Each structure stands twice: as C-alpha cells, then as structure tokens.
Structure 1
Amino acid sequence: MKENKYMEIPREELLEETKRFKEWSGPVLVKLFTDSEYGLLSLGSGGLLKYRGRYFAITNEHVIRNVDKEKRKSEIIIPYKDKNNKDIKVKIIDDEEDKENDFAALEICETSVKLMKNHWFLDESYMEKNVLDYIDRSNVVFLHGFPWTETNIDTANRIVDMTTLPYTTFVNEYNDYSDILELIADSKGISEFGTEINLPSFAGMSGSLVYGYYRNELIPYKFLGILSYWEAKTNILGVFPISEVINFLDTKFFITD
C-alpha cells in the first residue's frame, strides 16, 4: 500500500476551485442512455477523450453490459447540442469492452464531433499517466458525474431532467496489489455556498472521469482515471488509473495482428 501525502489548501479555496472545476469539466462529461422495450433508460456517466487522433466516450463495462453487443451502436444514446441548439445523439462507429478491468469505450464519428456545440474532448496533454507521482505531492481529487438520484426520465414524452454532481474529495490510498486508486467517499459534504449538505448516492457515477488538481499550473486539472465502483459500507470510491485506460484503448483499437 502507498499512503498519500496531504496538500494543505484552505476550505474556501477548495470551494471556489470546485465551482471552477464544475464549469471546466462539464463539457467533457456525458450521460449514456439506451432505448429499450421499456422506453428511454439511464445507463450511467462517461467522459470524452481524444486519443491518437480518434474520439471516444469512455465508461465502465458494467454501465453498458445490459445493452446487446450487436445493438450498441444504434441503441446507446449520448446526446449533445448542435450549433442550432438542437438535441442530437452521437454516431457511434465502434465499441469495445474489457470485462475483467471494467472498461468500455465507444468510438464517435468525427462528423458528430464537429457538430458538437456543448462538449470538448480531453487530449493527452490533460492526462496524468503516472498517478503515483501525483499522489506523492497531492491528495486532492475532483470528479463529476450524473448520480441516479438526480436523474428523472419522463418515459412517455422522452424528457430528461438531470443534475450533475461535482465532487471534491481526497485520496485514501493507492492499492498496489489491485492497481486501484481509492478515494474517500463521505456522505456529507460542503456545498458550493459553504453549507453542509447530505450528498446523493454515488450510484450512477460509474464511468465518471477523475481528476487531479494542479494548483497554480497552466492546466489546473488532469485526468487521473475512471471511477469504477463505490463501496458504501467503507465509504470508498475505486478508480482505475489512466495508464490502464490507455492500455485498453491501445489494445482494442490500435494494435492489429
């Protein structure tokens, strides 16, 4: 086990930084839905990456597990707004998964990327590929996702009302045995207005991108990994590091026999 070291940051600064992070990371965050015999269903959260010149929505394998593999390109819905503020779903051209490590990636057509008004894709300059280096100097972590408790769907009219949860927390430890970054998941928190609040469930946050905080640097937040699970009894969030995500993309999309 590798224990974290603490960065001493005043609470007021973290509150202000959380507001900035919410605005910065919102366009990278996506919500995944599916059309089913029961209507429009929420699947979970995801994030947008540009890697080696191609565009991906990254999430967990368990988020899309119940969507038939042969139908994912047509039945998974990732909505966005075009320049005319019209809601459109992205065109998915490929999808891959890694059940063992709980990764999934949906490759997005470049035509959809060009039409997106309200989203952008993280490129490699925003990726922290050595998580251990980061937690040697800081323990502050940001994430942003869509909790199920804050997502309401009017199935008949296909209207979705949803609220995101930006969340600032701290590293618990890095588990060397499982290569998992463990975060503290307290059920109580401080709102952006400085008041104590009870947080909604972390269910539905799987697939959210997790970021380190680079205080006083040109790029203030970098992608550390992907949120995979929440252990409610121990108040722990489990994060797979970005290096594993990159290995997955390389193996599934770029390495050919």
Structure 2
Amino acid sequence: MLHEDDENVLIITTEELRRETAQFKEWSGPILIKFLADNEDYIYSLGSGGLVKYKERYFAITNEHVVRSINQNERISGINIPYKDKNGVDKRMTIIAEAEDKDNDIAAFEISPHSVINIDNCRFLEEDQMEKNVKGYIENTSNIVFSHGYPMYETTIDYEEKVVSMETLPYTTFVDSYDEFSDIIMLTCDLKGTSEFGNEIEISSFGGMSGSLIYGYYKEDDKTNYKCLGILSFWEQNNNRLGVYPINDVLNFIETVFFSSGGDKRLQI
C-alpha cells in the first residue's frame, strides 16, 4: 500500500501478501548466497549476499562489515560462497577479484565465468531486474518490500566435519522513509509476524541478514513482479528499523572499481 492520499495506492490483502511472499521466496532463493569464512583450520558464517550480473560480468555483493573479519589479502582464498554444480556436488565459487567501500559498507567479489557455467542452483540478477530509481518506486509504485536472507540463528555448523546447515528467512515489510541526502532507505521491522505458511513466528534477531538483497513489488509489471531496490546494511534495534543502501549506488561502485580506466581489479590479481 501507499499513502492514503496517493492516487496510485496499491491495494493488497494480507492473504495476497502472504501468498506473494511464498512466491517471492522461491523466485529469489537462487539469487541469495551465504558468505562463509573457510580455510584448512576453521569455517564460520559471515552473512548473506546476492548475485548480480553487470555488463556481462558476474558479481557477489554484500556489506563490507560482513567480510571485515577476513584480512583483505586473504579474502579471495579465504571466503567460501557455496553452490551445487550440475552433478549436485557442493563447490565453492572461484573469486577472481574483490573490492570494498568501507564508508558506504559495500563489498563486491567478481566470480569466474568458469564457475558461472557450472552453477546449477544459483542465478545472477539481471540489470533490468534492478531498480535504479528507488524514490520513484516509493512515490509511484508501492511501499511494500521483500527481503530474503540467512539469519544467524538459523545457521548451525559442525566445526569438526566442517558442515554447515542453513535455513533462509523471507521477510516482508514496508518502507518507512527515504532520505535523499544520506541516500538510505529505511524500512519498518517487527520481530513478530506471520510466515509465508500463515503461522505466527517470532524473529530473535536480524543478525546474519546483512548483505541480503531487498526487493520492491511490481504487481502491475508485465515482465517481473520484483526488482532489487538495494542491499540490507544495518538494523536499528531500538527504533525497529532496517537500513538499505540503494542498488544503483552498488552498481556505480562496481562500475568505478571494476570497469573504469585503471580500475579493473582483475589486472591486480
């Protein structure tokens, strides 16, 4: 729904929203990824992330604070982004370059095309599935947003066997505000709600959800019902709000670091 005085109010019932959340979970699942710290000595969960395709190259994106515990010179070899290949075998994506923006809390990892062609259970978000005008979405389309991530409380690790068990959380909420000066989308959040199956649930924490992608709802769009608005960056626990960094700024960062003259990170590997 939008503001009541808006002529373009989107009307949707609670039951419709529940069904849409279930459909969104299935649609967004292959784009959602888990970042793990993984070497010969240890494995542990870092946080969530998403896969995007930009100018025919492939990237995994998350927050800088998600990977901050890994030394920068060890991130290419020490970070595990798991996937299943076409034979159902568990593999880790081959990272060929990485970059981060600490000020804006962005980290991007370029994935080798050799990994991409072997991936069976993941897919990369296309550019036309990313909303580059979040203000226009909020003002003219809807204030409904969907998220899908790996909460920390749903991740368990067998440290001896180095086996990770993970459950995802789809979460539907609404835009609280958008500040053009700070360029941050604020979402309302509640630790109690209803699952996509209709049962009441209580969320113990949004920890681990950082880095997951946030999507708008395009009910009247003929091509897709969902477009990425941004990346979940922080949780204001006392104010019941989530902060989102717009996807267009993430793409601008990727453009500057990986594509601009003198900035192709692959040349530095």
Q: Same fold (TM over 0.5)?
A: yes
Aligned to 1:101: 104
Q: In 2, distance between residues paired with 1:98 and 1:232?
A: 24
Report the residue type matching 1:74 in the other structure: S
In structure 1, the residue corresponding to 2:44 is in which secondary structure? strand
- The equivalences for 1:139-178 within 5 A come to 139-178=143-182
Q: In 2, distance between residues paired with 1:67 and 1:255?
A: 26
Matched, 1:127 2:130: yes
Aligned to 2:266: none
Moved more, 227-236 or 33-42: 33-42
Shift in Å, 1:42: 0.4
In structure 2, the residue corresponding to 1:20 is in which secondary structure? helix
Matched, 1:252 2:238: no
Moved more, 213-222 or 103-112: 213-222
Report the residue type matching 1:205 in the other structure: M
- The equivalences for 1:220-231 within 5 A come to 220-231=225-236
Q: In 2, distance between residues paired with 1:151 and 1:45?
A: 11
Report if the CA contact (8 A) 1:48-1:121 is conserved: yes
Q: In 1, distance between residues paired with 2:107 and 2:243?
A: 16
Report if the CA contact (8 A) 1:34-1:40 is conserved: yes
**Deviation readout 1:222-251 (Å, 9 max, x if unpaired):** 010000000111010000011211111111
Aligned length: 255
Moved more, 192-201 or 246-255: 192-201
In structure 2, the residue corresponding to 1:115 is in which secondary structure? coil
Aligned to 1:28: 31
> Which of the residues 218, 221, 225 maps onto 1:214?
218
Moved more, 187-196 or 234-243: 187-196
In structure 2, the residue corresponding to 1:233 is in which secondary structure? helix
> Which of the residues 66, 74, 77 maps onto 2:77?
74
Q: In 1, distance between residues paired with 2:45 and 2:86?
A: 25
> Which of the residues 229, 237, 241 maps onto 2:246?
241
Q: In 2, distance between residues paired with 1:194 and 1:30?
A: 25
TM-score, scaled relative to structure 1: 0.96
Matched, 1:202 2:199: no
Question: Structure 2 unaligned runs (5+)?
Answer: 263-269
In structure 2, the residue corresponding to 1:143 is in which secondary structure? strand
**Deviation readout 1:76-98 (Å, 9 max, x if unpaired):** 00010011100000100000000
TM-score, scaled relative to structure 2: 0.92
Shift in Å, 1:36: 5.2
Report if the CA contact (8 A) 1:7-1:140 is conserved: no
State percent identity of aligned pairs. Answer: 55
Q: In 2, distance between residues paired with 1:59 and 1:161?
A: 20
**Deviation readout 1:188-228 (Å, 9 max, x if unpaired):** 11112222221231001000000000003221100100000
Shift in Å, 1:7: 2.9
Q: In 1, distance between residues paired with 2:56 and 2:208?
A: 29
Report the residue type matching 1:224 in the other structure: L
Q: In 1, distance between residues paired with 2:146 and 2:78?
A: 31
In structure 1, the residue corresponding to 2:116 is in which secondary structure? helix
In structure 2, the residue corresponding to 1:193 is in which secondary structure? coil
Report the residue type matching 2:170 in the other structure: P
Q: In 1, distance between residues paired with 2:204 and 2:163?
A: 22
Q: In 2, distance between residues paired with 1:189 and 1:110?
A: 40
Q: In 1, distance between residues paired with 2:255 and 2:201?
A: 41
Report if the CA contact (8 A) 1:49-1:58 is conserved: yes
Q: In 2, distance between residues paired with 1:122 and 1:193?
A: 26
Question: Structure 1 unaligned runs (5+)?
Answer: none
